Each structure stands twice: as C-alpha cells, then as structure tokens.
Chains A and B, each alone.
Chain A
C-alpha cells in the first residue's frame, strides 16, 4: 500500500516521485504518519489558499506546530485580524521600501566572498547563504551585533522534526523557546528605546486603538527571525544547488545576470524550500470522493503543486526561461510569504555577486544532508568546487 511519510529522510531527499503518485492516484490522501489529509494538485492547493474561511490557519500552519504559536503569529491568524496585523508590516517590506537594503546586501555578500579567496571548495550554506542572511536580518531589525551564530543555529533547529518520533524533539522545542526568549528580550529593549526600524514600528503599533498582545508581538518577531534567517537561506541554498546541477543555466546567468530573476522564480517552482504547510477545516469538505470532517487538518504540499503537469508543462524540467507565474514557492492567498520582496532582492544580489567571481562551480557531495523537516526542504551543507 502507498505511504507518504513526510518525516522520512527519503522524502527529505527526494519527495517528487511520491508527489506524483499523490497527485495521480490519491489527490486527497489521508497521511497516517502526520495524522492529516494531503492536497497535492495545484488547483486544490490554490482553492484552499483562497478559501481561508474553510481552510483556517488559526490552529497553526506548520505541519508540526510549535507550542503556543497558533493564533499568535501572522501565519496562524485568520482575517480580519490577520489583515490588520499584516498591514502594520506590509508597507515596510514592499519592493520600493527596500531599496535602502541593496547596498548593504551587496556589501554583506562581498564580505563573505572575500573570505573564500583562494579556497578550492567551500560550503555554500555555512560559508555564504546563511552568513549573508543573518547579516541582512540583523541589519533589518537593527539587532545587537553579538550572538549571530547562535541565533542562526537555533533558527535552523526550530524548523526541524525528528524522523524517528515523527514530531518536534525536545531539542527543537528548546530552540524555539530560546528564540522566543531572545525575541521577548529584543521586544522589551525596543519598547524602551524604539527606533525607526521595522521591529520598532510593529512593537509600538496599535490596531483599532488597542496595543498588540505581548505574546502576539513576541511570537510574530520569533517567526520573522526564523523566516528571515532559515527560510531565506534555504531559498538561496536550493537555488545554489539548482545552478550546480544545471550547468547550462548557470553559464547563461553568468553571461547575462539579467536572467537571474527568472531563474529564481523557476527555482521557487522547481523545488521551493517551503514544501508543505497545513490548514484546519472549519466545516466538512468532500474532495475527490473523500469526506474530510470539520477540525481535520489538511497539508498543502506546495512542492507537489509546483510539479503538477496539469498546471506546468514538463514540470520535472528546470527551465529558466519558463516564467512560472502563479507558482506556489511562496505559498499564496492572504498568507503568501510576507518577505517575498526581501527574499527576491537578497537572492538576486547574492547570485549576481557569486557568479561574478565564480561563473563555474560543481557539486562535491553525491548525497546531500537534508534538513530533517516535515515542512521545509533544503541542504544543511552544500560543498561547491570552484575554479
């Protein structure tokens, strides 16, 4: 009998054959390991993302939700409160509002590339993408200089799940709690000395004349740190992997960097690091002959929808000329990723700078160590041979 175990290292490494079976034979699949239904076809996922009244996020959006998080972050709140919370941050992260980040991001990229001079092999994740994203986030939130590596380590741990127990391990929960404490301290400091930064604006904001709840601020900040570091680094790392694996595409980008944005969109479609999120049904729903009950969770497998041949022609081909509009690499609907503009800006610059120095690179490891996670998929280490 077909099984789909989102905790299994085999799925971390290559979920795509399983996704095909899900889409073709079990489009509304009961996943015993996760205790929830799975949608894998593009159209079903889009319908669910559009219909937040039925597919609610208020009971959590991570496949394995962290304690006390549901209901207290942007991603785990439904409209109308969600829309008001999001409006507080949205304007600060539009493309035009981010132009001041371009020069600092270029500088972060070059600083870390400089340290690699003379190396024949480097770890794209540890030496580059994670370093750049941590620098950028600390800059964006005007966070204190010290503790960067520790914050990064905790962000990476908190998104993981244990393949044996099929849930978050005590170590993962502890990392989340550490991050929540870190955020609480940051918020307390910022309340005393608010600045002009994005965090200060959010912390001091009111909705309908009411201050935001402390826990709401704390856990939203926790999530922004996690996403700003781990998800952004994951996006870049997967793009780095795709360019290592597709030499023609990489050479085309090195020759003509104006192709980088289209290649990024294709990378987000081809194997986004945001593979699976969940929703909770607020009423009974029948889909593909299955009756799902109110209160059941549904996993939305973005990574599967992005490879759905009902939507994308030759979906298993990485084609940088595809322009895959409507891909699910950042989710979609009211909860589509808040950081899309930051992510696109940072990733574009990271590859412009990288390809200037290293138009050619190849993968060293045959098998990659993948982040063990029921939600996310990216390599923990990506050794690249250069020159």
Chain B
C-alpha cells in the first residue's frame, strides 16, 4: 500500500498507508488528521482539502483539471505553485512516499 506523509501546519507528521486508489483527502479524514476537512465528500466541490505537495512529487501528478484549478482559487490559505486538492490525488504505487504539507486553515 502506498505511504503518504502529512505534515500539519504546526509541524506534526503523520505517516499513513492508504489502499491504492484512495485519495489523499480520504487518507487524512480516515486517519483522524485534522488539517484536512473534505467537506464536499471528494467531488472537487469545495476547497477544504487543500494541500501543498512536496516539490519532488509534483512532476508525478497529472495537472489539475479545470474544476480543480477553479476551486484552488477559493482556498482559505494562500494558493502556491504546489497547491493541490487532496481529493484529486489518488494514492497510487508511483506516489509511494509522497509528502504533503497542510495549510493553516481550510475554511
């Protein structure tokens, strides 16, 4: 199972294993990681699963869809070049070891 490391805004690290195909948003909500809300349930309909993806993994991700790009304009914490929505990133074997940092606020 791919491993994902979430680093909360206060520096707390959580290393969790996710079933392949589950999203980074689900990985956080299901493991009690508070820095991600996931209010819309994973339909790319809010921006409360905002993450900053470690630069070394950015190339391995598909670029954001049009909807994701629009939603990223609505993030509560500042959008950066490595901002993505956790519900749009599925934990696949090639992303094993991915590190994401969580913003200060989600809503």
Contacts and interface: CB of A to CB of B under 8 A. Distances in A.
Interface string B42-83: 111110000000000000000001110011001000000000
A87 B67 contact: yes
Interface in A146-200: none
Contacts of A51: 21
B107 to A, nearest CB: 8
A337 B43 CA distance: 8
Interface stretch (A14-22, A89-97, A227-235): A89-97
Nearest to A324: B29
A46 B21 CA distance: 10
Contact of B38 (A90, A325, A337, A341): A325
Contact of B39 (A50, A87, A340): A340
Nearest to B45: A90
A215 B37 CA distance: 36
B19 interface: yes
B41 A333 contact: yes
A369 interface: no
Interface in A311-331: 311, 325-326, 330-331
B90 interface: yes
Contacts of A43: 19
A47 interface: yes
Interface string A288-315: 0000000000000000000000010000
Which one of B40, B41, B71 has the highest number of Cβ atoms from chain A below 10 Å of its Cβ? B41
B41 A83 contact: no
A86 B45 CA distance: 9
Contacts of A331: 41
